[in-house]
Structure 1
């Protein structure tokens, strides 16, 4: 039987992968670092600090997974994780996890990467063409880890792939990120204060992100694969789509806050490998995903109110 170990399984993307993995016939073992979520009765949860190599060895030896889906990384608080020293610790931990996985007979590994590995001045990001020249510790550490994983896989004949995530949004997103913060503000009847919003980005609903990783895990595709929609859209258009759905366009305030210094005007994924080689396409278009996200946030404890 296919047996998968999912790290970061209580996180934003990881938690959405569990039911899909179960539906696809995996025996799922999910790793959480602090508390054990009750997300699914169809998987086995493990409490482990993956920064402690002893815990890594214990959980991998106990589970003996055939597959590894590695999402765990440093706590991704917006504005903080880009320069966190924990990024360097997670490179070490991820390599130890990879080594233990192979030593216990592991066959296929997929790890979560980031569009921050690319040189953002190019805008349109292709795994084959676009240079990788990250300028943050987060991007640098992810880039370094991907290169080592590639080399290790070639040396040991381990099957591996690397999913570079672009701009996910949806249920359980950190509340201060763009989409969630706009939704929360408008649901509360408060102004949604944004930058000019002309930046063009590539957004993908989080369930689609998780499903793309499961498809990549089940495929034989190796190397880096962009995980995005491939559809460019201006941030201001996303904001107004949210406002139109909620019915509070009057509360949108573009230009109310400054954009980040040296912010890239364009960041969009080339999803040719994802669609043609992995054979995966998203189930949610932008409006469908935003509606799902709005419903989730409206039913959460963050707003204190309900709308029809």
Structure 2
């Protein structure tokens, strides 16, 4: 099977690329190589004859048509997106252009290719999205695939729009699609502007560890390699036109995650003081959703998938990976916005 994967040099996309190549699939990695992308994320996969790379921006429709014509994929996994909520607050335009217009371009390029091939029944367009499109939960309840959309940030609104486009292209044009909405990912190769890598790197640098508000926001934490496994399963066995919520079944508050990381670092890289003493509470993010939680019963019952990594195991593995791969993250620290407080312009 030949899979065209957009955003394959990013965090989740690279995990999918690595796993797909390891399983013997052919992969065409389409990535614009913006600030959050890194080809080192797929260096091992790139050594395989089953791997190809095309530096293409999904906002460039003509370039997408050329990629489809040249590589003739069997299936598409669309992960390319602007994804950082804080950046979307400061500069929403990039999120509209990439996440909405870019997805439109991908759908049209895929539709043209699929129709030109005679509408093969085994073709699939798998759109990967986020649970943030559903908005926020109170202290109880979980998101299901039928939860009404209620996005609260420019990022989540742009992803919600892209989800609606994908569904419309299936209903209107018959494009064979599957969709997934995931909870918060973490793990190796996570770009150092998201919570877990920020905490690790601030702690190691002896700098204040910023926690928004009181750190009581709750997320369902999903280890990225578990997510990649679920995505490939949905691609191959998901029901046409169906959406699947993918969660880690690991709800934790942000402050619990931060303190867990500090405790692990106390053991693995002890300093003169406890890392927890570096925690600093800062002004909360505008429109910060209180709680996300996924009901994963559909993917469990229909496809037999469950996460294999607990949040305790996953965080320890993640901390160890950052300790072992200092060269990787140091090379990214000079990129635009890394290490700065973003999302304050609202």
TM-score (norm 1): 0.88
Displacement of 1:218 in angstroms is 1.3
Corresponding residue for 2:292?
Answer: 267
Deviations 1:196-221 (A, max 9, x none): 22222111122222222111111133
Determine whether 1:47 maps to 2:52: no
Residues 146-157 of structure 1 aligned to structure 2 (within 5 Å)? 146-157=163-174
Determine whether 1:92 maps to 2:124: no
Deviations 1:207-266 (A, max 9, x none): 222222111111133432222213321222211221221116822255622333453332
Determine whether 1:126 maps to 2:151: no
Alignment gaps of 5+ in structure 1: none
Corresponding residue for 1:79?
Answer: 86
Determine whether 1:168 maps to 2:176: no
Determine whether 1:102 maps to 2:111: yes
Change (3 A) 1:45 1:261: closer
> Secondary structure of 1:203's match?
strand
8 Å CA contact 1:198–1:234 kept in 2: the answer is: yes
Corresponding residue for 1:230?
Answer: 249
> Secondary structure of 1:233's match?
strand
> Secondary structure of 1:256's match?
strand
Structure 1 or 2: more helix by fraction? 2
CA–CA distance in structure 2, aligned partners of residues 118 and 291 of structure 1:
29
Aligned length: 302
8 Å CA contact 2:143–2:292 kept in 1: the answer is: no
Aligned with residue 258 of structure 1, among 279, 283, 294: 283
Deviations 1:60-101 (A, max 9, x none): 111111100011123x45511355212222222222222222
Change (3 A) 1:218 1:139: same
> Secondary structure of 2:86's match?
coil
Residues 125-144 of structure 1 aligned to structure 2 (within 5 Å)? 125-144=142-161
> Secondary structure of 1:104's match?
helix
CA–CA distance in structure 2, aligned partners of residues 69 and 240 of structure 1:
35
Deviations 1:78-131 (A, max 9, x none): 511355212222222222222222332361111121222113145644234422
TM-score (norm 2): 0.79
> Secondary structure of 1:280's match?
coil
